[in-house]
Amino acid sequence: MTQDDFRRLALALPEAIESAHMGTVDFRVGRIFATLGYPNPSFGMVSLTREQQEMVVGVEPTMFAPVPGAWGLKGATLVVLAAVDEPTLRGALEAAWRLKANRRQIALLDASRAPTNAPVGAQAPS
């Protein structure tokens, strides 16, 4: 994945915006859920819970690593852009987004994915 891929996936989440913090590109939904380019352009970061971080690092250690230091102990997780695939990155970004989004924003995402119950070709009642 590239920085542009990371950006595209982050901004595809409802009401996500791109901003900057401490010289780094960040993505917010009210609060920062991901950053890009720290510690260098080869990385992104997703803000997960410690439990989520342990899971992704344990399952995909070539794609994810805890951020060194205190931030990493709080769930900040590096994403190795050259190693991560799109479905895995999409899942990590969504998990981070859900931790920062409010109920209304989460409902927007869930509603966009809800299956319809009407059969294909069915007409709405008039």
> Which CATH number belongs to the domain containing residue 60 in this structure?
3.90.1150.30
Tens digits of per-residue pLDDT, 25-53?
A: 999 999 999 999 989 999 999 999 999 99
- Over residues 76-88, the pLDDT tens digits come to 999 999 999 999 9
Query: pLDDT averaged over the chain?
Result: 92
Q: Give the residue numbers spanning the domain of 15.
A: 3-113
- Number of domains observed in the structure of the chain: 1
- Is residue 96 one of the residues assigned to a domain? yes
* Residue 120 included in any domain: no
pLDDT-derived band at 122, boundaries 50, 70, 90: very low
Inter-residue contact 37 to 26 (CB < 8 Å):
no
Q: What is the pTM of this model?
A: 0.88
At residue 99, does pLDDT exceed 50?
yes
Cβ neighbours around 6 below 10 Å, total: 25
Q: Report the pLDDT value the prediction gives residue 118, as an integer from 0 to 100.
A: 46
Give pLDDT, residue 114: 77
Residue 123 lies in a domain: no
Answer yes or no: is 119 within a domain.
no
Residue 35 located in a structural domain = yes
Nearest by Cα to 95 from 64, 49, 54, 57:
49
